[in-house]
Amino acid sequence: MLIRLAKLCLISGVSGVFWSGSLRERMFRVMSRFLSNATNRIDAKGRVSVPSAFRSVLAQRNVQELYCFQDFVFPAISIGGPDLLERFERQIAAEDPFSPDANEMSLLIHGGGVFMKLDAEGRLMVTDFIRGFTGISDEVTFVGRADHFQLWQPQAFVAAQAQARGERKLAGKRS
């Protein structure tokens, strides 16, 4: 728990000293990006609390509805505001409109994406849509990715992170 909160403290990029002042002031100091990771449990009804730091970012961006889709690379669900979807749609529009790629892209981001919203306590439902693709069963790891965040099966995340770290290490030795 200590470690988890220490991480969350880093999310906001603020040391203890700056945590004085009103909540509003604090929220505006926070960099508006999703950073770090935290693991929460799923309750009996299939809900999980989104980390407070992430909720703060969402609130600052006035995000009411969450756009969720299955990540193209990792076995994870990527979540952002409607702007994330719009970015994909611009990408479709920018592509050759005549290409079948645009059609397949639409199949993924429109047909494979869902809008979700948090309940009053900042929790979201972990649906079969999420479980099936990620392997999540009873715990969720929230991973910040700057402009969006992801839902991972905890072990899958540490594994992917370890692999990524290994590859960076190799890359560093090469250069």
Partner DNA sequence: GCGTATCCCATTGACGCCCATATGGTCCCA
Partner DNA sequence: TGGGACCATATGGGCGTCAATGGGATACGC
Which residues are at the interface with its own copies (CB under 8 A)? 3, 6-7, 10-11, 14-16, 18-19, 30, 33-37, 70, 72-74, 82, 85-86, 89-90, 92-93, 97-98, 100-108, 110-115, 143-146, 150, 157, 160-161, 163-165, 167-169, 171-172
Q: Phi and psi for 54 in degrees, rounded to 5? A: -70, -40
Structure tokens at 6: 């220490």
**15 versus 121: smaller Cβ distance to its own copies:** 15
Q: Rule CB under 7 A: say whether 14 interacts with DNA.
A: no
Q: Rule CB under 7 A: say whether 51 interacts with DNA.
A: yes
Report in angstroms how near the CB of residue 44 gets to DNA at its nearest: 4
Q: Which residue type, as a one-letter code, is found at position 116? A: M
Strands 139-144 and 123-125: unpaired
Considering Cα of 139, then 142, then 148, then 150, what sign does the dihedral take?
Answer: negative
Q: Rule CB under 7 A: say whether 36 interacts with DNA.
A: no
**Residues 66, 150, 77, CA angle at the centre, nearest 5°?**
75
Distance in angstroms between the alpha carbons of the first and the last residue of the chain: 38
- Rule CB under 7 A: choose which of 72, 73, 94, 121 binds DNA: 121
